[in-house]
Structures are given as structure tokens and as C-alpha cells.
């Protein structure tokens, strides 16, 4: 019974008070878009940190003049380690070519450099779940005969990991803060727009409408406004994301970031829209209930 | 005749100032027609606000059919208001809605739907002569027409209790006569009616028992007494 009254009444209310409702939609969209962009940034930082930290490569520099059979034996030993995902031998020529690729436009710096004196290296990666043990594994291989040096960015790795943990914590704090602000904005916007509808609520009360009857239309209105605001916010965030992504092609480093950049998965977006609709409904219900309590004799 | 409405020791003041009503007691019999009169600001509207549970008395009780309505829960208050037809001094209509939607509102609240709702609404509008204009918005109506819509809404349930606060205040003579005839027809059908007015010519034209609010007290008076007391 309540929805059969509530839905047409809500649609009529939206039409009649379209200016106030449009304001509310814009306020919601703006605050949600800010929240969405911060969450998206946080998401990408987390994703990037996970990807970066999981790609840790250790390089074993082999002794100069080590015979080929011993080089292959060492490679096999590394491959057989249970935490090693994959390992490969990099010849001096391959190493020079890799360096030239990384330098890109600046590879002219290598002009005239030969591969004499460059050692063979064994590069290996650990499985993602064991990346925090890269130091232990690397030091173990350092002691093997035929290995001249082991290179991995252990200190930088640790500091970057700590940096990402700090960023995640700060990000989570700010997201929590913005969620609270968002709820307050929604509540205030709902309260203000309902204040303009006070007379309507009063008249409904005077003709004998129950609280549930009165709330039904406003709950539907609140839900629709919140949905409209969150859809608009999603569009804004998506647009900003696309603009940022398209602007990230200006060099190799940013192109790498571009490849790893993520957007919200569809299920998460759907969940966020549903949560916004629920929040809109709850805010409206609370605001109308508060007003009805004020109208109580 | 049974007592329909009983006010006992009713006192009401606003913002802690001098009371508008002070220890007022009165019994309204079932099926009676009363005028409630007094100068502007005497407290006529306050009486209706108390009877409709828009306000709560500072002291005293209000009984309808023997039950104290000042102790009703919010849900019971809604049911109480549904059994009263009330015409407000300021109409209390939804300006953005049509005539039909305003009159249908109490019916919708009570659960009427579809063809039954439409039929009942049109019947009410025909009583006040606005059936042909039912789709017009209330915002565009004159004061008199709004009053008719307000009356049609109040009559929706053929109430047993009917209150009207200055129902002819904004009306010309012809319209005022039409409105009073509607109210008198309702009374003839057994409804208990209280009409608040300060218009002595109305009371003279349509005689009935009269309650006077003066000096924060309520007295039943005859018209001659009322004229003398100014």
C-alpha cells in the first residue's frame, strides 16, 4: 500500500521541487566524486604497490671466466629452489641489449661500449607470496661457489614497502573521514530540502496519515536522489580517470603506470550505487521522522 | 443525548506567557451544532488545535466518546484525526497538487485505491460543485474555491465530528451561504459540528448554540448576550 502511494508521490515531489532536488543531486555528486577519486587513487596505489613489490628480481653476478657447464649447474640449482618462480641466464650481450632497451631514446650513451668485462648473470623471481623472503634467499645464493655478487634492492624494497604501508594507512584514514563528511552532507541536504516540504508533511499528518505512510514517499525520493547523484559521480570519476590515463603516455615510466592503472570493478560500482541508494533512503527516513517528532503535540 | 466531546479543566499557554485558555470545561453533546465565537486572538483556533491534537494542553483532559485523547500514541492520533472532518482557517491544501488529489488525500491515507477512490472523490467534489474542475491545481484557485476544496476534503469520510475554523472568512455572501448550507446538511445527517467564527451576522442567519471565549474562559451564550458583551 505504501509503495503504491509512495512511488507516484515521490516522482511528483521530484518534479515539483526539481530545483531543490537538482541542488541535492549536484551536492551528492560532487562529494561522492571526491570520495570516489580518493578511493580510486588509493586503489591504484595499493594495486601498484602489490604489483611492484611482487616483481622483485634478484641478479646473481657470476665470476668472470666461469665455464659454461658450471654456469648451467648454478642456473639449475637456482631453478630448483622451492621459492623461485623462474630463473634465466643473461649473457653479457643480452644484458647490454636489455640496458639499451631500458634507456630508449638515450641508448646512444652506450655507443662504443662493448660487452667485454660484463659478467654473466642469473636473474630470478620469487613467487609472489614469498617476496618478503627475497633477502634470505638472495643471501643464501651469495655463498655459492661461482657467484661473485648478488644484487637486489633490499633496502629500497623495505623502505618502499614501509612507504606503501604508510600511504595505505593515511589513505584509509582520509577515506573514513570523507565517508563521515559525505554522510553529514547527505543528512544536511536532506534536512534542508525537507524543511521546505514541512507544510506538506504537516498536512499529511493532519488528515490522519501514519508515520509509515508519510515516510514512504520521502524514502523513495531520497533513494532516487542518491542514485542520481551517485550515477553522476561515477560518470565524473570515470571521465577523470580516462583523461588521466590518456595523458600518461608521455614517457616510458608513466606509460608503465598507465598499463597498471585500474578502475573500479563493475560489482564494486554496483555495490556503491546500492549503498548510496540505501543511505539516501535512511537519511530521508531519519529526517522525516525527526520532523514528525517535532510536529508531535 | 450522549456527550461526544468533553473538555475538563483545560489550560493552554504559549511560550510560558499568559494562558490563552484557563481552566476551561465544556461538554459538547452528540449531534449538536455549536458556534465557537470570540474576538480575534481569543483562542478559537487553539481549541481546534487541541481537539485535533496539534497542540497538547498544559493541564486538563479532552475526551472523545469517553476516551482521553491526550494519552493517545502517534498511531492512535492518526486514527483520531481520520474520524474528524476539519476545515482550517488557512485551508491547509497542497498547493502544487490538483483539486482531485487534495480531496482524495484522506481517502488514500485510509487505503482507498483505484475506481473506488475516484468515485468517492468525484462524489465529494460534486457536493461542492467542483467536479468539472477537479484537475486544476489548487494554487490557481480563489480563496473561496480553496475553502470549498477544503470542505470537500473534510467531508470525504462523512465524518461524525466536523470542525470548521472561520469557514466563511474569505467568502462573499453567496459562497458563504453555500458553505453554511453544506455544513448544515452534514449536521442534519447526525454529525456533531463546531464552527468557529467572529461573524455575528452568520450566527444570526444560521442560529445554533453558541460558545463564547472571553477572558480565557468558555461560556455558552445566547446571541443577545453575546452582542451585549461585544
Per-residue pLDDT, A4: 73
Q: Is residue B142 part of a domain?
A: no
Per-residue pLDDT, B175: 85
Residue B229 pLDDT > 50:
no
Rounded Cα–Cα distance for residues B64 and B112 (Å): 26
**Same domain flag for A84 and A188:** no
Per-residue pLDDT, A44: 84
Q: Do A297 and B55 touch (CB under 8 A)?
A: yes
Q: Which chain A residue's Cα is nearest to B157?
A: A207
**Same domain flag for A40 and A97:** no
The better pLDDT of the pair A254, B57 is held by: B57
**Same domain flag for A72 and A96:** yes
- Give the CATH number for residue A108: 3.30.70.3040
Residue A292: CB atoms within 10 Å: 19
Q: Do B74 and A292 touch (CB under 8 A)?
A: yes
Of all residues in chain B, the percent with pLDDT exceeding 90 is: 68
Per-residue pLDDT, A235: 95
Domain end among A134, A152, A170: A152
Burial A84-111, CB ≥16 within 10 A → b, else e: beebebbeeebbbeeebeeeeeeeeeee
- Note whether A292 contacts B: Cβ–Cβ < 8 A: yes
**Same domain flag for A133 and A194:** no
Q: Is residue B94 part of a domain?
A: no
Query: B96 contacts in A (CB within 8 Å)?
Result: 12, 16
**Same domain flag for A168 and A47:** yes
- Note whether B72 contacts A: Cβ–Cβ < 8 A: no
**Same domain flag for A228 and A82:** no
Domain count for chain B, please give it: 1
pLDDT band of residue B230 (cuts 50, 70, 90) is very low
- Note whether B139 contacts A: Cβ–Cβ < 8 A: no
Per-residue pLDDT, A96: 76
Per-residue pLDDT, B29: 92
Residue A242: CB atoms within 10 Å: 11
For A16, the closest of B79, B92, B96 (CB atoms) is B96
- Give the CATH number for residue B223: 3.40.50.300
Query: A201 contacts in B (CB within 8 Å)?
Result: none
The better pLDDT of the pair B117, A138 is held by: B117
Domain extent at residue B218? 1-80+193-230
Which residues, given as ranges, of chain A have pLDDT below 70?
1, 51-56, 102-117, 153-161, 248-257
Domain end among A110, A127, A152: A152
Q: Which chain A residue's Cα is nearest to B155?
A: A207
- pTM to 2 decimal places: 0.72
Residue B228 pLDDT > 60:
no
**Same domain flag for A252 and A165:** yes
Query: B80 contacts in A (CB within 8 Å)?
Result: 208
Q: How far is CA A113 from CA A89, A92, A102, A236, B164, in A?
A: 21, 12, 16, 51, 105
**Same domain flag for A245 and A165:** yes
For B24-45, how does the pLDDT look when each residue is reduced to its tens digit (9 = 90+)?
999 999 999 999 999 888 899 9
**Same domain flag for A176 and A274:** yes
Q: Is residue B131 part of a domain?
A: no
**Same domain flag for A167 and A142:** no
Domain count for chain A, please give it: 2
- Identity of the highest mean pLDDT range in A259-268, B119-128, B216-225: B119-128
- Note whether B92 contacts A: Cβ–Cβ < 8 A: yes
Domain end among A152, A171, A186: A152
Query: A213 contacts in B (CB within 8 Å)?
Result: 109
**Same domain flag for A71 and A87:** yes
For A4-21, how does the pLDDT look when each residue is reduced to its tens digit (9 = 90+)?
778 888 888 888 888 888
Per-residue pLDDT, A154: 58
Q: Is residue B73 part of a domain?
A: yes
Per-residue pLDDT, A260: 73
Backbone Cα Rg of chain B: 18
**Same domain flag for A13 and A140:** no
Domain extent at residue A280? 2-52+159-295
For B150-193, how does the pLDDT look when each residue is reduced to its tens digit (9 = 90+)?
999 999 888 999 999 999 887 888 888 888 998 999 999 999 99
Amino acid at each position: 500500500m505504501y509503495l503504491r502511494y509512495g512511488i507516484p508521490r515521490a516522482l511528483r515531489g521530484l518534479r515539483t521541487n526539481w530545483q531543490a532536488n537538482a541542488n541535492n543531486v549536484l551536492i551528492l555528486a560532487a562529494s561522492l566524486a571526491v570520495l570516489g577519486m580518493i578511493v580510486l587513487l588509493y586503489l591504484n596505489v595499493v594495486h601498484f604497490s602489490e604489483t611492484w613489490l611482487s616483481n622483485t628480481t634478484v641478479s646473481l653476478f657470476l665470476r668472470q671466466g666461469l665455464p659454461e657447464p658450471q654456469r648451467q649447474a648454478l642456473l639449475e640449482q637456482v631453478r630448483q629452489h622451492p621459492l623461485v618462480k623462474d630463473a634465466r641466464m643473461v649473457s653479457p650481450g643480452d644484458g647490454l641489449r636489455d640496458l639499451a632497451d631500458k634507456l630508449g631514446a638515450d641508448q646512444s650513451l652506450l655507443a662504443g661500449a662493448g660487452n667485454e668485462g660484463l659478467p654473466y648473470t642469473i636473474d630470478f623471481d620469487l613467487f609472489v607470496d614469498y617476496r618478503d623472503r627475497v633477502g634470505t634467499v638472495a643471501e643464501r645464493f651469495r655463498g655459492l661457489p661461482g657467484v661473485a655478487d648478488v644484487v637486489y634492492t633490499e633496502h629500497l624494497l623495505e623502505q618502499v614497502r614501509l612507504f606503501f604501508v604508510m600511504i595505505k594507512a593515511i589513505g584509509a584514514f582520509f577515506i573514513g573521514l570523507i565517508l563521515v563528511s559525505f554522510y553529514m552532507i547527505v543528512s544536511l541536504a536532506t534536512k534542508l530540502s525537507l524543511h521546505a516540504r514541512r507544510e506538506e508533511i504537516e498536512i499529511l499528518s493532519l488528515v490522519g496519515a501514519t508515520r509509515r505512510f508519510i515516510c514512504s514517499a520521502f524514502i523513495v525520493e531520497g533513494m532516487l536522489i542518491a542514485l542520481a547523484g551517485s550515477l553522476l559521480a561515477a560518470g565524473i570519476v570515470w571521465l577523470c580517470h580516462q583523461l588521466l590515463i590518456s595523458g600518461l603516455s608521455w614517457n616510458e615510466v608513466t606509460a608503465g603506470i598507465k598499463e597498471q592503472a585500474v578502475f573500479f570493478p563493475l560489482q564494486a560500482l554496483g555495490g556503491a550505487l546500492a549503498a548510496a541508494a540505501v543511505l539516501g533512503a535512511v537519511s530521508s527516513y531519519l529526517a522525516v521522522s525527526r520532523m514528525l517528532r517535532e510536529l508531535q503535540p | 443525548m450522549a456527550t461526544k466531546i468533553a473538555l475538563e479543566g483545560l489550560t493552554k499557554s504559549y511560550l510560558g506567557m499568559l494562558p490563552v485558555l484557563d481552566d476551561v470545561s465544556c461538554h459538547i453533546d452528540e449531534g449538536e451544532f455549536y458556534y465557537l465565537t470570540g474576538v480575534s486572538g481569543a483562542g478559537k483556533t487553539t481549541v481546534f488545535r487541541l481537539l485535533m491534537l496539534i497542540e497538547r494542553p498544559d493541564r486538563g483532559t479532552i475526551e472523545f466518546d469517553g476516551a482521553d485523547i491526550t494519552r493517545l500514541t502517534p498511531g492512535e492520533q492518526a486514527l483520531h484525526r481520520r474520524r474528524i472532518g476539519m476545515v482550517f482557517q488557512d485551508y491547509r491544501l497542497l498547493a502544487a497538487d490538483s483539486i482531485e488529489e487534495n480531496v482524495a488525500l484522506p481517502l488514500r491515507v485510509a487505503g482507498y485505491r483505484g475506481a473506488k477512490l475516484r468515485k468517492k472523490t468525484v462524489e465529494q467534489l460534486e457536493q461542492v460543485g467542483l467536479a468539472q474542475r477537479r484537475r486544476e491545481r489548487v494554487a490557481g484557485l480563489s480563496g473561496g474555491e480553496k475553502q470549498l476544496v477544503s470542505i470537500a476534503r473534510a467531508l470525504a469520510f462523512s465524518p461524525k465530528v466536523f470542525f470548521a475554523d472561520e469557514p466563511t472568512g474569505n467568502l462573499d455572501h453567496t459562497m458563504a451561504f453555500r458553505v453554511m448550507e453544506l455544513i448544515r446538511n452534514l449536521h442534519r445527517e447526525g454529525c456533531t459540528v463546531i464552527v468557529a467564527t467572529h461573524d455575528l451576522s452568520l450566527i444570526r442567519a444560521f442560529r445554533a448554540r453558541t460558545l463564547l471565549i472571553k477572558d480565557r474562559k468558555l461560556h455558552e451564550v445566547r446571541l443577545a448576550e453575546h452582542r451585549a458583551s461585544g
